[in-house]
Structures are given as C-alpha cells and as structure tokens.
Amino acid sequence: MTTPATILVADDDSDVLTAARLLLRSHYSRVLTVEDPGKIEALMAVERIDVFLVDMNFAIGMNTGEEGLRLLGRILELDPDAVVILMTAFGDLNTAVRAMREGAADFVLKPWQNDKLIATLGVAVALRQARSRVSALGVPQPLPEMIAGSAAMQKVLRVVERVAPTEANVLIRGENGTGKELIARALHQQSSRANKALVSVDLGAVPETLFESELFGYTQGAFTDADRDRPGRFQAAHEGTLFLDEIGNLPASMQTKLLRVLESREVVPLGSDQPVEIDVRLIAATNQPLEKLVADGRFREDLLYRVNTIEIDLPPLRDRLDDLPALAEHFVKLNARKYQVEPKRLSESALSELRGHQWPGNVRELSHAIERAMILSDGDTLNADDFSFNSAVEHTDAESLNLEENERRIIRLALERAGDNISHAASMLGITRAALYRRIEKFGL
C-alpha cells in the first residue's frame, strides 16, 4: 500500500529521475520529476508537494552546492512548511551543516542506497504532516498569532513574551495535541535567534540505537553504513534553537550524555575524539510527569533541573473552551480551502456538542473531528449529529467477535488517543513500537 504523499524529485540527470521514479512509485501515491529547477515554482502553484528531493548542482561543472541552497531558500520562501531534502554527489560536512541551518530537513549523497532513501523520505513525510498540523492550529508565518483568547492561553502567551528574549532553557508541558511545538516556534521566533535555525527532534520517533548519531552526528567510518560525515541536530541548530519533543522518552544512557553536552556546550560525533563547540538555546517538551519518572529512577533529576529553568504549562482544550468556537471556525475554513468547497456554518447544536466533549486528543482531535464532519455532512450547516464521538471507532462492538476487526478498532483508538504518537500508542497497547508499526501496515492505518 502506497503512502498518500506527493514527492517532487528535481535533478538534471534523466537517469537519476528514472531511478527515483521507479523506486518511489511503489511507496508514494504521486512522484513528480523535473530536470529544470525553474519549473518547480510553477508546480508549487498547482500542486501540494509534501517532500522536495532536490539536487544541489544543476549547471555543468558546478559542485559547490550554491544552486541547491538558493533553490532551498526560494522553496521555503514560497512555502515555509516545505520539507526539502538536498542531494549531491559532492558531499562534505560544511555544506551539509549549512543546508540544514538554512532549513533543509536532511542531506543525502548520490548514488543513494534505496533502503536509506526510503527511510529518509518516510521521516520527511511525517515531518511534513507534523508541520501541517502545527499550521492548522493557526500559525501564520513567520510569527504565529495563535487562537488564544481564553484566560488560560492568555496567561501562556504572557509567559512566552517574557521568556522568549532570554537564553533560558524552557520545558513545555502539556497533553498530546495541545500545541507544544507551536509554543516552541513562538519562543524561537520572538528570540534573538529568530534568524537562525529552529531544529526539531521528536525523541518519541527516534529508535534508541540511533539517538546518539541523530543528536550528535557521526564521522565517515564510525559504523558499517557511515559512508560520509553527517552532522547531528546539535550542530545543525548551532546559534539557533534546538527543540527536543517528548524528552521523557530519552533513554538513561542518553540522558547522561545530553547533560554533559548542556554543561560543556560541545558535542563529540560518533567515530571522532574531537569535540565540536555548539551554541544552542534548548526548548524541551513532554506530556509525561517527569517528577514521577525521577522518583522511579527513569529520568535524571539533574537533567530535569537543567532543562526546566522556565516551565510553560499548556492547558488541555477542555480547560480553554472559550477558544473552541474560534478554533472550530478556523478548521472549517481550513478544510473548505483544502477540499475546495464553501465553508459550512456551525450551528448552536454543533457548538454545544463540541463543548460537551472531553477532547482527550485536544486541538488535534478537534481538527480531525471538523475535517470528518466537513467531508461527511450534507448541506451547508454542521449540526450536532454530524459529530459522532461514540462511534464504533471508539467503542468495540460487543456483538462482533471478529478478532482482526476488533484489533483494528483498538489500534485506531490508541493512535487517536495518543495523538498519533507511536511510542505512547504502543505503551497504551502494551506492545513494542515495532509491533505497532507492523499492525499499522497490516491494517493500512
């Protein structure tokens, strides 16, 4: 089953484009290719492109990467949420670091290894989806003006305004779907580092074996598949902001190394004995009770003190219902544009139904509920019966004893309640992340 995403590959070598098309078409629903980078802007005007895979050198004899960097800048100018992966046959650490600082999601060498490219694109597509969800919360670029009229959110914004200009490390706490990444973006964009990179890492999505190489980078030959130097996220965020989401998922061994990096302000890439100085402002986020993890011996107390100089607690949607009508209207308009239909009116009965729901998935759940209603409802008004919060998706049908059918429902429910966070859904289900991934693929979720 192909992933519903559009990948654009830009390269002046037709053989490269053919190879990419043959490889990717069995993995993604649409694969577009162009030899002329000048055509990308016209394509962006008519297509929603999820990931750009772009060569860094188009002109004959060029190997500096400047063309790719200029193209990266133009793509991000047209679509600030764009996810761009740059590729080149002439890779070096400095170009990779510069590309990532200027907004590239990743950097690959040609000729690529098929499994590595597929894995890189999988992460990139997930990143695009995450950015789209953040944008759906009402984040115009470059400075977000949040839908935050409630007293609870006004209190949060006052703290953001006070803290953003400082260099203090910040810990954002909140349930899944409350907008922790949105607050991290606001802190970065209102800081003195706003013209530098904001590099995000979802620690819940990084396998434990890859934590060190992902955060600190590695040198060529550091391990079997290390065929080039690769900067880590700390290097990419140099002079900017590093956002570590779901920091409660950090393994004990990596907690020690992260603490050492924060204290020494330098990292040592895997395979090297030479430290690299880093200058980052750290923002972390969690939906877990870190104090309980400390008490249970699963999180270092000294690391908790290091990351939470300032704490920002995000209220769940049920505690900021004054914002619900404006959020709902926003999602109606967003989906009207997405599906090219007229916006539908929210009736009083619909708003009453929405206010009465507990919203375990918070704003993210609200966005999904509005999207479903916009797709399935008749007429030009959304009513209470267009929102079904007691559907078979949420409650296993007691009359059905079909094992696969019930397993599929439970997997969907866990993913929804976890806000699509694989680690948390797997924990709810009592299975490993790998086992959950297998079931997601099995059921086409």
CATH number at 34 reads: 3.40.50.2300
Query: What are phi and psi for residue 290, nearest 5 degrees?
Result: -60, -35
| 19 lies in the same domain as 48 | yes
Q: Say if 330 falls within a structural domain.
A: yes
Percent above pLDDT 70 for the chain: 86
Residue 177 domain flag? yes
pLDDT for 349? 93
Do 124 and 235 share a domain, yes or no?
Answer: no
261/142 same-domain check:
yes
Q: Indicate whether 436 pLDDT > 90.
A: no
Residue 277 lies in a domain: yes
255 and 146 in a common domain = yes
Q: For residue 139, what pLDDT band results from cuts at 50, 70 and 90?
A: very low
Q: How many domains does the chain have?
A: 4
Domain boundary among 315, 337, 362: 315
Residues 381 and 274 in one domain: no
Range of the domain at 427: 403-443
Decide if 393 is inside a domain: no
DSSP state of 287: S
In a domain, 395, yes or no: no
State which of 295, 315, 335 marks the end of a domain: 315
Gap between the Cα atoms of 390 and 410, Å rounded: 14
Q: Is the pLDDT at 242 greater than 90, yes or no?
A: yes
Mean pLDDT over 430-440 rounds to 71
Task: Give yes or no: residues 381 and 413 share one domain.
Answer: no
CATH number at residue 423: 1.10.10
* pTM recorded for the entire structure: 0.61
DSSP assignment letter at 340: T
Statement to judge: residues 256 and 194 lie in one domain: yes
Asked if pLDDT for residue 144 goes beyond 50, the answer is no
Final residue of a domain: which of 110, 130, 150?
130
Look up the CATH number of the domain holding residue 172. Answer: 3.40.50.300
For 195, phi then psi, to 5°, come to -90, 5
Condensed to tens digits (0 to 9), the pLDDT of residues 28-54 reads 988 999 988 888 887 887 788 999 999
Give 127 or 168, the one with higher predicted confidence: 168
pLDDT at site 189:
87
pLDDT in tens, 217-240: 888 888 877 777 788 889 888 889
Assess whether 426 and 375 both reside in one domain. Answer: no
Phi and psi at 149, nearest 5°, equal -80, -20
| 228 touches 109 (CB < 8 A) | yes
Residue 119: band (very low, low, confident or very high) from pLDDT cuts 50, 70, 90: confident
In a domain, 394, yes or no: no
State whether 62 and 146 are in the same domain.
Answer: no
The pLDDT score that the predictor gives to residue 138 is 39
Tell me, what CATH number does 329's domain have?
Answer: 1.10.8.60
Residue with tokens 């894995």: 119
* Co-location of 107 and 246 in the same domain: no
Residue 7 has pLDDT above 90, yes or no: yes
CA 229 to chain centre: 24
Are both 75 and 59 inside the same structural domain? yes
Instruction: Examine the domain organization and report whether 79 and 216 are in the same domain.
Output: no
Asked if residue 392 is part of any domain, the answer here is no
Query: Is 158 within the bounds of a domain?
Result: yes
User: Who contacts 399 (Cβ-Cβ below 8 Å, separation ≥6)?
Assistant: none
At 143 the pLDDT is: 37
pLDDT per residue as tens digits for the range 387-422:
876 544 444 444 455 666 777 778 888 887 776 777
291: confidence class by pLDDT, cuts 50, 70, 90: very high
- Cβ-count burial of 124 within 10 angstroms (0-12 exposed, 13-18 middle, 19+ buried)? buried
